[in-house]
Amino acid sequence: MCLRNLVHNTMESNTNVLYVVPDLKKVSGGPRNRISLLGQVFKHKGDSIIVGEKKLLKAIKSPSVNFTYVESATNRIALIDLLSLSILRLKSKRVFVFIRDVYFDFFPENYRSPKGRLLTLANHITNLFFSWIADCFFFPTNKMGAVFFRRGTYVEKPYYLLPPGVPIGLSRQDMPDFGARPGIVYLGGTGYKNSGFEQFLEFAKLYQKYYDFFVLSGDNSLKEVLSDLPYVVWTQLPLLQIPDFLAQNNIAYAFHSRPRNDYDDLTFPIKVMDFLALGLPFVTEKHLPLVELLGVDYPLFASVADYNNIHQMLSNNYNPERYRLLTNRFLNIANENGYEQRYAYLLSVFLSYNE
């Protein structure tokens, strides 16, 4: 059977497809959570999800669909994905592609070695393919989209903002005990460049008299790193167990220590969506995506190396009235930025093509 007959002999359908390029076994942290949580919404809506094994077979068997949404989340595409997505391009009224980062475009000087040049070529071919199949692109920030197209390397397509969503089911039930010593938590990986973890440790060293400090991270190297720091408690927990852990340890704040630089203002710090879901106020630099999300008047914006200022801000907001203002702000933001809303936005973009 020729490819044209294969495509046109399929039944018409009103469903959509979530196509996941990377192997989720090799994806961790925020990107994995985003794909999984968005996938739950697609599944709930009765849509198809193509991920893991037998992608080509699933693409061949897929009916015609309204749109295919592609989670690229990788810097190079495999041959099986190229073939599968080419078939889905023929079966889809629209194809949307999500681009997670533009590291190769922003830091070309890091890829001057022979291996680096090969990786850059693979990334370039991947993006050329995406620009061929896509009706439009989605990026976590609009600035990233502008960088992606600024050199004129790829055929420019419309692009839209699609930041990560707020997970559900993580909300704390109780406020902290304001008569007791507050806890501060660092959540997530520590070993990657620009994690800012050393600023968290320095703050803990300076203010251990005032706070209890906790690290929730899957980094096993922390057992050795923190062995000489008895005032910092490290453990690993599934995400759904974190609310109880916060309550048991009177944790009132999170410390988002990622520093600001030009590239980080292009990306979206996904772990803050967990803080929003938990209703957990957090200290953070004024990352541009967070200013847009939280508002310019968010009271815990600070330089993560300005330790005295951070201490004063945390102290000033550690009372029922001010703390409740923060948690109410988070609740309102979370209600407007769940994965149901992200799915609804994808659908609205599809419908806009038919107006």
Give pLDDT, residue 309. 97
12-24 residues labelled b (16+ CB within 10 A) or e (exposed): ebeebbbbbbbeb
CA–CA distance, 168 with 158 (Å, rounded to integer): 30
Q: What is the pLDDT of residues 294-321, one digit of tens each?
A: 999 999 999 999 999 999 999 999 999 9
Question: To 5 degrees, how large is the angle CA 289–CA 290–CA 296?
Answer: 110
Give pLDDT, residue 73. 65
Q: What is the pLDDT of residues 320-334, one digit of tens each?
A: 999 999 999 999 999
For residues 131-146, average pLDDT: 93
CA–CA distance, 176 with 174 (Å, rounded to integer): 7
Give pLDDT, residue 2. 42
Task: Transcribe 103-163 into DSSP letters.
Answer: HHHH-GGGG-SHHHHHHHHHHHHHHHHHHHH-SEEEESSHHHHHHHHTTS-S----EEE-P
Q: Which range has the worst mean pLDDT, 139-148, 189-198, 211-220, 313-322?
A: 189-198
| pLDDT tier, 105 (very low <50, low <70, confident <90, very high otherwise) | confident
Mean pLDDT for all residues in the chain: 89
- Please tell me whether residue 308 adopts helix, strand or coil conformation: helix
- Contacts for 78-81: CB closer than 8 Å, 24+ residues apart: 78/21, 80/55, 80/56, 81/21, 81/55
Give pLDDT, residue 156. 87
- Please tell me whether residue 87 adopts helix, strand or coil conformation: helix
Six token digits for residue 267: 């990306």
For residues 186-198, average pLDDT: 83
Closest-CA residue to 63 (of 80, 41, 88): 88
Q: What is the pLDDT of residues 64-98, one digit of tens each?
A: 999 999 999 667 889 999 999 999 999 999 999 99
Give pLDDT, residue 3. 40
Give pLDDT, residue 152. 67
Higher pLDDT, 125 or 88: 88
Q: What is the pLDDT of residues 34-49, one digit of tens each?
A: 899 999 999 999 999 9
Asked whether the CA dihedral 72, 191, 122, 157 is positive or negative, the reply is positive
Q: What is the pLDDT of residues 235-294, one digit of tens each?
A: 999 888 999 999 999 999 999 988 887 777 788 888 899 999 999 999 999 999 999 999
Q: What is the pLDDT of residues 13-27, one digit of tens each?
A: 579 999 999 888 777
| pLDDT tier, 10 (very low <50, low <70, confident <90, very high otherwise) | very low
Domains of the chain, CATH where assigned: 3-165+338-352 (3.40.50.2000), 183-336 (3.40.50.2000)
For residues 138-166, average pLDDT: 90
Partners of 183 in the β-ladder: 212, 251
For residues 179-208, average pLDDT: 91
Give pLDDT, residue 188. 87
Q: Confirm whether pTM is higher than 0.95.
A: no
Give pLDDT, residue 30. 75
Q: What percent of the chain has pLDDT over 90?
A: 65
Give pLDDT, residue 74. 67
